[in-house]
Structure 1
Amino acid sequence: MSDKVMFTAVAAQGGNIGPFPTDSILKFDTIITNVGEGYDNTSGVFKAPIAGVYYFTFSYQAPKNYTSGLLLMKNDSVVVKAADHNGRGEYLTDNGGNSAILELALGDKVFMQLPANHCVWTADRTTSFSGFRISQ
């Protein structure tokens, strides 16, 4: 098995995702790169195909007049957060994002969680999730 693992996926379905009454895994429907096949766009979950140290990053666009944000999750624990409330005019947009370096065991799961009552804008590939293996 190759030691190369990297992915980038975007939520490209267009429009708002959310708000939902409960926390939800954000599914990035369009895979740009998926070397090592660790990201599953049907579940929205990256599952480490090999152990190692990984770098993850995400970005999103906050839709007008909504509370927006995402949580980077490792298994069932919050790693880092980003949040915003875009209450500005029709043509102004706010963006958010964050990143983290994580040590993963084989099979550990990393995913983006959309908190309850939050939403993100997904048109024009403005919301993305990426990760890659740095070392063993």
Structure 2
Amino acid sequence: MHMFQNLKLVVTTFLLTNVNADGITKDFIKKFNTYNEVCRGMGFKDGTCQASEKSIIAFHARTSKGLHNLASNAVVVFGRVTLNVGSAYDGTTGKFTAPRDGIYSFTWTGVTAAGSWFNTVIVHNNNLIAYNIADGNAGSRTMSSGSATAIIKMKKGDKVWIRPKGREARAGYADWCSFSGFQLF
């Protein structure tokens, strides 16, 4: 309810500051006649201004086992899916498919044991976008981890996935590597 009250204040402020000399608001009123229509236009449920479940795209997944000797072009499969609102992430293939056009945010974390490495990249339709390094070979006696985030403009049907970078990679532990994402707008 608090969010709905804030939206009322924003809309009222907008209307009051966008009145022309004749007291008629600009074409904002023509597009949205009631607060519920404003909410629907923003992807919210009627009356509450809460996001509707079908307007949300978000996922989080972790590796379900240790990954060893992955080839540089393999897809890293994060098979333990803990959240998949919108069903856009496939835990069997490791790929996210955009259900609609938009800007998406992705974050992934790689963890490896001492003496190993798990350098990865995020791939958008076969294009390398960003890199992540977890290098346990740098003289460390402990595990190494790395995290990265990428913001990607996608069209409906575009795919994003994580793959190893360079020589054969090893993620030492189940559940410690993760991949998540959501649609910003």
CA distance in 2, matches of 1:102, 1:22: 22
1:7-86 correspondence to structure 2 within 5 Å? 7-13=59-65, 15=66, 17-86=67-136
Q: Distance in 2 between matches of 1:23 and 1:122?
A: 20
Deviations 1:4-32 (A, max 9, x none): 1000000022x3x1223442100011100
Contact 2:75 2:94 in 1 (8 A): yes
1:6 aligns to 2:58 (yes or no):
yes
Q: Which amino acid aligns with 1:73?
A: V
Task: Give the secondary-structure state (helix, strand or coil) at the position aligned to 1:86.
Answer: coil
Assess, with a 3 A threshold, how the Cα gap between structure 1 residues 117 and 105 changes in structure 2: closer, same or farther: same
Consecutive aligned runs of 4 or more in structure 1 exceeding 3 Å deviation: none
Q: Which runs of 5+ in 2 are unaligned?
A: 1-52
Residues 1:113 and 2:163 are matched in the alignment: yes
Does the aligned pair in 2 maintain the 1:9–1:33 contact within 8 Å? yes
TM-score (norm 2): 0.66
- In the alignment, structure 1 segments of 5+ residues that lack a partner are none
Q: CA RMSD in A?
A: 1.6
Instruction: Indicate if the aligned counterparts of 1:60 and 1:121 stay in contact, CA closer than 8 A.
Output: no
Q: How many residue pairs were aligned?
A: 130
* Mean Cα deviation higher: 41-50 or 78-87: 78-87
The answer to whether the aligner puts 1:95 opposite 2:145 as a matched pair is yes
For the pair shown, the structure with the greater C-alpha radius of gyration is 2
- What's the TM-score, normalizing by structure 1? 0.88
Query: Is the Cα–Cα contact under 8 Å of residues 69 and 120 in structure 1 kept in the other structure?
Result: no
Q: Which structure: greater strand fraction?
A: 1
TM superposition shift of 1:34? 0.3
Identity %: 25
Once structures 1 and 2 are overlaid, which stretch shifts more, 18-27 or 43-52?
18-27
